[in-house]
Amino acid sequence: MMWACLLLLTVWYAATHGLLYPAESETRQIRSLNGLWQFRLDEEGVGETERWFAMLNLPQPTILMPVPASYNDITQNITIHRHIGWVWYARDFFIHSTAPRWVLRFQAAHYETHVWVNGQAAMNHSGGHLPFEADITSFIPNDAKSSKMRIVVAINNTLTPTTLPPGELVIHNPTYRELQTHFDFFNYAGIDRSVILYSTSKTYIEDIAIDTQSIGYDSQHVATSAVLNYTVTIGGTNQTDAIRVLIQLLDANGMIVANSTDFQSRLVVNKPNVWEPCGMNHTHLCTEESYLYTLQVTLYNDAQQTDVMDIYRIHHVGIRTVKLTDSKFLINERPFYFHGVNTLEDSEIRGTGFDRVIIAKHFNLYGWIHGNAFRTSPHPYPEEFYHIADRFGIVIIDQTAAIGLNKPEYFSQTTLEHHKQITREMINRDRNHPSVVMWCLANEPQCTFSQSKSYFSALVNFTRSIVAGRPITFVTNLNFNNDQCVEFFDVISLDRYIAWYSDYGRLDQISNIISQDLSNWRLTYPTKPILMSEYGADTMPGLHNDPPFMFTEEYQKDFYSAYHISFDNVSSLTHPDTGYFIGELPWTMFDFATEQSTVRIGGLNRKGLFTRQRQPKAAAYKNHSSAFYRDQAILCLPTHDLPSDENVYVSIDEFREKIPLTTYKDYTDYIDRMVIEGETNVLSSEDPVYYSMTSGTTAKIKLLPATSVTIRKLNESFVLGFHIVRRSFPSSSSSSFNQRVFTLQTGRKPKMFPTSKDGIPMGPISNLIVEHGGETYALERAKYIRNECSKKNVPGILHRLWPNLMFATTAIGSTFAIYKPDIEFYCGKHLPLINCMVYGSSEGYFGSLASIHTDEYFLLPTHAFFEFIKEEDIEQAQPKTLLISEIEPGHRYELVCTTDAGLVRYRMGDVVNCTRFLCRADDLVPLPTEPVEIPRIPLISLAYRVGSLLDVFGEKTNEVHLMNALQQTVHQWKSQGIPVDFCDFTSYPKLDASPAKYVIFLELSEDQKCKINAQQLQILKSTASEEVNQQLSKANEVYEKVQHFKVLDRLDCILVRSGTFSTFLRKFLWTSRSSPTQIKPHRILKNEEHIRFFYDNQIDTSLS
């Protein structure tokens, strides 16, 4: 009897001071006792009376049972699966006398556990899911170098009114025992987590507590200092005066950043790297790591610190703070939004058994859905979960196993004391994890009973003294006006199943009911933030119906969408001044086992976003937003083609205010994840159907995803443009929509398409393009084509090859206009040349041809959300934007777009002219015949690319300035009787000259009938630089002013040989990754090899 009392004191003492996670060090050894153990049921409950713990082997029948694992699903024996009562485990092992102290630790066992070592009682523990341990050194013979040891464990999974969770055993007859519970998961049991043997010195580090007291920040919110409080508890001796301790905080590179020699003190860290929660717009992705320090504690037996007694390291120290306001949850003084999925520790065969494979898969999928938080419902998880969460910055709400408290007798003093015990054990185990930001003391207690109010008042008061700097919550499924316990807690955590357990099938009612519910709670408790910690709908994978019905995958998707509307309306993140809602945690991540019933098909709760086999259902793909949207805290724009259940901003102004303008570099990491890793739901919830690759001729190569919506909108743009073209030609020349379209399609990538015998490419180029005749091409036809192409200086090659050709189309606006005469020569007088029918790019398709006579386009507001930056504001990082209704003719703007493929407020780099407003007289598209008011519809044309600027001292010379100056210069030469024409040009800023200057390379073309002579050539060479400089000063006044102050020298205009630009195109631009239709002229050279090429081709004595 005295031994039993001593044992109880030992176990309680350990629980009070916390249990450090078993970790190897220079002074500690670890040995796993996992494996196959002897196992048997004790259906009569006689094992302890018959002293099975003292036998060499457990009485037959026994089987082998894996540890760790729940025993219920290991066999095909239904009796073992549904067993209620005692089971026994046993195993032998050898221990070597290599350390003065050995500790036997159970990471968890469910529920009531008795342990014997070598036939002697070693420890008892009540409660599941938390560790317990005992010093077993006294059971090891002192004089033996090695000893055979035997462990016997008895476990009882019977729940009672005083256990947590509670339950009641009902014995219907000798063969029918029923455990009545008030929770919805299977009561798995056994040694479900690891069994470990570890050693320490006689005097050892028993416990460590460390927490961040404060962090100082500068004006940019960069951490400048941090203060950490710590306490070290020593075990094995009461004589601590002679013991010395060294505390060292090491950064990720192993460098010491703070130290101390006190058992209890504080550490000050200068310029700390703070631990950040993932998934916020100011933090990292949830697949990237947060910053962790290592706390190293060393015990010495002497003041000189030479005799090391014990060393222990905590590798997951995160510097971070947690605070609450009346409407926000702050981590590191910044609002945090809980966005993830709760889960239940459950898997096939293993039950609640610990398995690193299952944990690794869990976090892999958590990264896939971009979750940044979860609640450990219905009980604390294995500590390895917390280690990974620390590493990736995933936030945890740590919950006790107190679920199912829904009878008055469950709120007893005995239960309260046990509740305090498991709360203390949980906090002491998990308090050093930065990922743990809040304690949850219970799930769905029936707080309408008078007993419950005093019960939770006492429990919360007890917990306040040990919270380790975290707020406290509990989950309630009651209404705002009948929950008597919520007043004691810091955060209101709600559990709601509208349109599932009530209002069956009424998805249309969710938003109104939830919105009103949240409002009522807020009015009743205006100083407490609100979290939706549980909501969900069962879904049978593969079950579909339209309209959505309960249990279908469509229903689960729409169920979540309906809830999100209510959440976003009061979110503290999107409404920082008025919002009070701090997060959403659906139930649940995976389907899990329950007791069998008529509502649990196959004994499973099927609310998972994934099946029990970890395969996604449809709702797993339709996250609240894509990865980019979630990381940037972006909602959706309100547009007429969005479903009503989508999350939207209140207004366009709110969208523009909260979301910054973006460029391609904001998307590179996300696109790499899509292209390299095959990740989905990154920029858009819709998978890309191909990646559009830019040619790289005006900037670095970009990869941009296109979805099926992109393709549909391309087709729509073509149809509209083609309709305008057909209306513009005489009816006799109009042809059907089935006419064949030919195009230059690909670069020199070998074997992309099959070719005919004569080398003409054939094959399906796209869904808009027919074959070039395929193998039916006749030899005569091939011969004819060769003959026609061999004719020199004969116009109309396109018309001669295809006499029925209706028109030719290419880019003829902006600086492309200099090529228009050449292309018209190929067309001849019988074939019209019009501008491209679609204004598009790798980013999307945004406009349609407005007229066959100009280079103007309509922008299509249904294809993207457009914004415009004034030309004078383009150099600003985040300039103010205008809407399409605010731009005016005669002005230039940089185009900004938000697209279906996931680009958000994306700066296109295209500068467009607003040319005019469409009027009824234009008759470009059918307009209403009635005198209705037509909105102002601006027409635009492409001016230049933002990157195409010469800008040495702020003069901002663009390609239009240069082209106008060169055209005027050529006009001057022609007026002097010199028969030349403008062919092409490029330029670069020569910054190594003093002062700096522009260098322009100009190619001219001669009149074939009238060659220029040597004297005229000398005039060109001698006057080119001065003439172009004068004309550029007229075209760009700022350039003239910069030259006036002599900070920019007169430009050099260098004439290059005929054919130089064609050679440059073939040699440098037309590569295997680009097609002729992609290539854009290089107006500014940035490559030294390219610059040298043009210098090497400058004219010496003749044009040819």
Q: Is the pLDDT of residue 428 over 90?
A: yes
What pLDDT shows up at residue 983? 86
φ and ψ at residue 643, rounded to 5 degrees:
-60, 150
For residues 892 and 915, what is the distance between their CA atoms, to the nearest angstrom? 9
Q: Is the pLDDT of residue 1100 over 90?
A: no
**Which residue, among 616, 610, 617, 635, has the nearest Cα to 625 in the 3D structure?**
635
DSSP three-state, residue 319 = coil
What pLDDT shows up at residue 17? 52
Q: Which of 39-53, 571-585, 991-1005 holds the top average pLDDT?
A: 39-53
State how far Cα 1047 lies from the chain centre.
Answer: 48
What pLDDT shows up at residue 629? 54
Q: Is the pLDDT of residue 151 over 90?
A: yes
For residues 607 and 588, what is the distance between their CA atoms, to the nearest angstrom? 6
For domain 204-317, the CATH superfamily is Immunoglobulins (2.60.40.10)
Q: Which two tokens stand for residue 525?
A: 């408790």
**Which residue, among 310, 313, 135, 302, has the nearest Cα to 234 in the 3D structure?**
310
In the chain, the amino acid numbered 161 is P
Q: How far is CA 336 from CA 219, 375, 1035, in A?
A: 20, 15, 53
φ and ψ at residue 705, rounded to 5 degrees:
-75, 145
Please, are residues 68 and 191 in contact by the beta-carbon 8 Å criterion?
Answer: yes
Query: Predicted confidence band at 841 (pLDDT cuts at 50, 70, 90)?
Result: confident
What pLDDT shows up at residue 444? 96
**Which residue, among 365, 616, 318, has the nearest Cα to 469 in the 3D structure?**
318
Fold held by 2-200: Jelly Rolls (2.60.120)
Tens-digit pLDDT profile for residues 157-177: 999 999 999 999 999 998 899
Compute the chain's Rg from CA coordinates: 38
Please, are residues 859 and 846 in contact by the beta-carbon 8 Å criterion?
Answer: yes
Please, are residues 1036 and 944 in contact by the beta-carbon 8 Å criterion?
Answer: no
What pLDDT shows up at residue 920? 55
**Which residue, among 1050, 864, 1043, 1033, has the nearest Cα to 965 in the 3D structure?**
1033
Residue of 112, 133, 383, 444 marked active site:
444
For residues 73 and 346, what is the distance between their CA atoms, to the nearest angstrom? 11
Which CATH code of 3.20.20.70, 3.20.20.140, 3.40.50.12660, 3.20.20.80 fits the domain covering 368-536+557-589?
3.20.20.80
Residue 548 DSSP code = -
Which of 43-52, 284-293, 942-951 comes out lowest in average pLDDT?
942-951
φ and ψ at residue 608, rounded to 5 degrees:
-65, 145
Which of 144-158, 637-651, 814-828 comes out lowest in average pLDDT?
637-651
Residue 509, judged by CB atoms within 10 A of its CB (0-12, 13-18, 19+), counts as middle
Tens-digit pLDDT profile for residues 706-738: 877 777 787 777 778 777 777 777 654 444 444
Please, are residues 416 and 434 in contact by the beta-carbon 8 Å criterion?
Answer: no
Residue-wise burial string across 23-57, b where 16 or more C-beta atoms lie within 10 A, e elsewhere: eebebbeeeebbeebbbbbbeeeebeeeebbeeee
What pLDDT shows up at residue 1077? 54
For residues 996 and 953, what is the distance between their CA atoms, to the nearest angstrom? 10
What pLDDT shows up at residue 763? 34
Mean pLDDT, rounded, of the chain: 85
Which of 274-288, 447-461, 654-668, 699-713 comes out lowest in average pLDDT?
699-713
For residues 855 and 863, what is the distance between their CA atoms, to the nearest angstrom? 20
Q: Is the pLDDT of residue 155 over 80?
A: yes
Report the DSSP beta bridge partners of residue 895: 868
Residue 932, judged by CB atoms within 10 A of its CB (0-12, 13-18, 19+), counts as exposed
Query: Predicted confidence band at 870 (pLDDT cuts at 50, 70, 90)?
Result: very high
Residue 677 designated active-site: no
Q: Which two tokens stand for residue 170?
A: 């009902």
Sign of CA dihedral 445, 448, 452, 458: positive
Task: Please enumerate, as own/partner, the contacts of 566-569 that have beta carbons within 8 Å and a separation of 24 or more.
Answer: 566/510, 566/511, 566/514, 566/515, 566/518, 567/514, 567/532, 568/635, 568/647, 568/648, 569/515
The pLDDT of 476-497, averaged and rounded, is 97
Residues 6+ apart with CB under 8 A from 854: 835, 915, 941
In the chain, the amino acid numbered 634 is I
The pLDDT of 1057-1074, averaged and rounded, is 75
Q: Is the pLDDT of residue 431 over 60?
A: yes
Q: Is the pLDDT of residue 691 over 60?
A: yes
Q: Which two tokens stand for residue 237?
A: 């001796």
What pLDDT shows up at residue 650? 63
Tens-digit pLDDT profile for residues 123-132: 999 999 999 9
For residues 664 and 786, what is the distance between their CA atoms, to the nearest angstrom? 44
What pLDDT shows up at residue 180? 94
Tens-digit pLDDT profile for residues 523-532: 999 999 999 9
Structure-token match 């007859």, residue found: 173
Q: When comparing pLDDT for 147 and 12, which is higher?
A: 147
What pLDDT shows up at residue 516? 96
What pLDDT shows up at residue 934? 55
The pLDDT of 86-99, averaged and rounded, is 94
**Which residue, among 1009, 1035, 1026, 1039, has the nearest Cα to 973 in the 3D structure?**
1026
Query: Predicted confidence band at 284 (pLDDT cuts at 50, 70, 90)?
Result: confident
Using alpha carbons only, give the angle 660, 663, 666 rounded to the nearest 5 degrees.
80
What pLDDT shows up at residue 555? 95
Tens-digit pLDDT profile for residues 354-412: 999 999 999 999 988 889 999 999 999 999 999 999 999 999 999 999 999 999 999 99
The pLDDT of 1015-1031, averaged and rounded, is 91
Angle separating helix axes 413-430 and 383-392, nearest 10 degrees: 50
